[in-house]
């Protein structure tokens, strides 16, 4: 029988464990009290959460996680979705509830219950998944507000070549609803549910050319049938491509063929760069591999950047235009102009300045009908933010002074609607941070001021709203940093419509390391809100005791 060899100290070396466990466990119990309002939490909330990763020989990792907690007066076990994605070298296997990304316009993070595999031997990029994308849900007389859905199953495959940052992939997704999974749903004024099916074919790539030029492309064509019960139509064409996809998808009267494309061409040099971007998504573009798309848009953008003074001054910005009504079937075409500028100046370690400007404009042009002047949309939103910081650093003490200002103005270019929309916001924050690195003692403070000029529609005499007040805090470590404590408090005054109110927040936190991998924590929070109106005055108290262990 083989024996373990001794190490350099003469002791027998331990054999590597075939299975390793790592993770953590957290438990908490709390207290909640409120007066003046209805409680917004359980009187005695409690819960436990944990995560475990099982590492098998060869580097195969199996992550697990679970959460248990109480809801109201009953106990619920909300952990009802489980999935693992173990990886071994260039192979990853998906099982259970998973969400996988193949490309932005095909399979893009939709959660499914099933399985799949991703293989990357060398520069070959392969992937395939299959599962249930939607669960069958039927509305009942007991729950008439439940939105029904058909059972939806589907699969997606990916074939590509390249590395993680330099590749070309082809992707196909096929999914369909089971019309027999629930009883036929009668359409209502609020919703219409019909069994659908979808075939999406797309390409995605990230290419690096000549070390300085990058090309990005995401494109897809989607054939989406909104009702599989509609009559079939014959697909014209005898090419092998049409015959191949005709075996996977049946065109019907309710089928719509749409496309989506986004592309970018970029140059990145030592001190400067630029990126040109284009996007077009047809009206009603959909894929069953994603939850939501903003469709019916076309946009162009340019984003340059520059670094000068040996990197001490950095400038970046972007400017773009976007418009809709690509099918010329809306009453109006809405256009947007978006510009931004970011300046960062750091001449040394003590002083720094950041400036950010954004300008967002929106306007409309006549579509299939002439625009009514009183309803025409024409607005401009300007925002500017500056951040100044000054740092004093000594051997064991650090002090930081900060000043942040924000200005935002919404201008309505339509005189008929300006009184209901125009507003101006100003925010100022002056902060101070002090920390002793050896003792663990630290204090921080901030004074904030916010002023909002509301639209004329709210009243010509009470348009101005103000919020201002201080926030202070302190931290201290004890017992060789095993015990950490902090106190924080804020007093915020608000003035509006001739009424002055206040909001007081106070919190205390403590954490103690009882062992190398075990900690206990205590947090107390108090809120007193007094808007100046008796019916809107309330108090809240929250307490929480927690325990955590890692292994």
* Separation between Cα atoms, residue 316 and residue 493, nearest integer Å: 38
* Token representation of residue 215: 């090309």
Alpha helices in 173-278 (DSSP H): 240-246
Residue 132 pLDDT: 95
Least Cα distance to 421 among 465, 383, 377 occurs for 377
Residue 365 pLDDT: 66
How many CB atoms are closer than 10 A to CB 205? 19
Cα dihedral sign for 304, 305, 308, 312?
Answer: positive
How many CB atoms are closer than 10 A to CB 122? 8
Give the tens place of pLDDT for each residue, 484-518.
Answer: 999 999 999 998 877 889 999 999 999 999 988 99
Residue 243 pLDDT: 67
Domain borders along the chain are 96-295
Give the tens place of pLDDT for each residue, 15-30.
Answer: 555 778 888 989 989 9
Residue 372 pLDDT: 56
Least Cα distance to 168 among 201, 123, 211, 206 occurs for 206
Instruction: Kindly give, in sequence order, each residue whose CB lies less than 8 Å from that of residue 349, ignoring residues fewer than 6 positions away.
Output: 391, 393
SS3 content of the chain, % helix, strand, coil (to 5): 5, 65, 35
Q: Which helix (H) or strand (E) holds 421?
A: helix 418-421
Residue 103 pLDDT: 95
Instruction: Kindly give, in sequence order, each residue whose CB lies less than 8 Å from that of residue 54, ignoring residues fewer than 6 positions away.
Output: 19, 20, 21, 61, 62, 64
* Token representation of residue 417: 């609607």
As beta bridge partners, residue 66 has 50
Q: Which helix (H) or strand (E) holds 12?
A: none
* Separation between Cα atoms, residue 281 and residue 261, nearest integer Å: 6
With beta carbons less than 8 A apart as the criterion, state whether 147 and 163 touch. Answer: no
Least Cα distance to 280 among 340, 247, 325, 315 occurs for 325
With beta carbons less than 8 A apart as the criterion, state whether 508 and 472 touch. Answer: no
* Token representation of residue 301: 């953008």
User: Side-chain half-sphere of 529: how many Cα atoms within 13 Å?
Assistant: 12
Burial 49-65 (b: 16+ CB within 10 A, else e): bbeeebbeeeeebbeee
DSSP class of residue 102 equals S
With beta carbons less than 8 A apart as the criterion, state whether 134 and 152 touch. Answer: yes
pTM for the predicted model, two decimal places: 0.73
* Separation between Cα atoms, residue 231 and residue 225, nearest integer Å: 11
* Separation between Cα atoms, residue 316 and residue 340, nearest integer Å: 8
Least Cα distance to 380 among 411, 408, 356 occurs for 411
Strands 313-323, 297-308: pairing is antiparallel
Spell out, as residue ranges, where the chain has pLDDT lower than 70: 1-17, 56-62, 71-82, 140-145, 185-191, 235-243, 364-377, 413, 416, 456-462
Reduce the secondary structure of 396-417 to three states and give it as a string: CEEEEEEEEEEEEEEEECCCCC
* Token representation of residue 380: 């401009």
Residue 4 pLDDT: 47
């Amino acid at each position: 029988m083989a024996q373990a060899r001794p190490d350099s100290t003469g002791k027998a070396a331990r054999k590597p464990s075939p299975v390793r466990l790592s993770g953590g466990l957290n438990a908490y119990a709390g207290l909640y009290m409120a007066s003046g309002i209805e409680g917004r939490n359980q009187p005695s909330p409690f819960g436990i959460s944990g995560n475990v990763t099982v590492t098998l020989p060869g580097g195969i990792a199996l992550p697990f996680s679970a959460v248990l907690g109480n809801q109201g007066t009953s106990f619920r076990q909300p952990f009802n979705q489980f999935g693992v994605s173990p990886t071994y070298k260039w192979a990853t296997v998906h099982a259970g509830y998973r969400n996988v990304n193949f490309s932005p316009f095909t399979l893009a993070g939709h959660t499914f219950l099933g399985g799949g595999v991703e293989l990357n031997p060398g520069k070959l990029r392969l992937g395939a998944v299959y599962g249930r994308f939607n669960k069958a849900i039927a509305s009942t007389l007991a729950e008439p507000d439940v939105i029904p859905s058909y059972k939806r199953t589907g699969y997606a495959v990916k074939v590509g070549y390249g590395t993680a940052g330099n590749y070309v992939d082809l992707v196909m997704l096929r999914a369909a609803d089971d019309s027999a999974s629930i009883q036929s749903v009668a359409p209502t004024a609020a919703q219409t549910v019909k069994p659908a099916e979808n075939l999406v074919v797309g390409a995605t790539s990230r290419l690096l050319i000549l070390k300085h030029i990058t090309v990005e492309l995401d494109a897809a064509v989607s054939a989406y049938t909104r009702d599989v019960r509609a009559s079939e139509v014959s697909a014209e064409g005898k090419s092998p491509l049409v015959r191949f996809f005709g075996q996977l998808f049946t065109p019907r009267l309710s089928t719509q063929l749409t496309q989506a494309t986004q592309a970018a061409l970029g140059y990145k040099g030592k001190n400067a760069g630029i990126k040109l971007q284009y996007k077009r998504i047809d009206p009603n573009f959909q894929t069953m591999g994603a939850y939501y798309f903003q469709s019916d848009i076309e946009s162009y953008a340019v984003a340059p950047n520059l670094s000068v003074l040996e990197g001490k001054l950095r400038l970046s910005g972007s400017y773009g235009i976007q418009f809709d009504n690509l099918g010329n079937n809306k009453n109006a075409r809405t256009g947007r102009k978006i510009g931004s500028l970011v300046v960062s100046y750091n001449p040394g370690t003590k002083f720094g300045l950041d400036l950010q400007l954004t300008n967002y404009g929106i306007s409309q042009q006549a579509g299939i009908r002439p625009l009514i002047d009183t309803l025409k949309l024409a607005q401009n939103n300007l925002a500017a933010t500056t951040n100044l910081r000054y740092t004093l650093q000594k051997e064991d003490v650090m002090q930081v002074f900060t000043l942040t200002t924000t200005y935002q103005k919404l201008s309505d270019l339509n005189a008929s609607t300006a009184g209901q929309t125009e507003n101006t916001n100003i925010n100022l924050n002056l902060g101070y941070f002090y920390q002793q690195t050896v003792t663990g003692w630290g204090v921080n403070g901030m004074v904030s001021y916010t002023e909002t000029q509301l639209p004329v529609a709210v009243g010509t005499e009470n348009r101005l709203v103000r919020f201002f007040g201080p926030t202070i805090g302190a931290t201290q470590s004890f017992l060789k940093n095993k015990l950490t404590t902090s106190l924080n408090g804020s007093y915020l005054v608000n003035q509006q419509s001739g009424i002055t109110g206040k909001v007081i927040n106070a919190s205390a936190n403590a954490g103690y390391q009882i062992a190398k991998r075990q900690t206990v924590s205590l947090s107390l929070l108090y809120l007193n809100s007094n808007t100046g109106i008796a019916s809107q005055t309330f108090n809240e108290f929250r307490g929480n005791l927690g325990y955590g262990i890692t292994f």
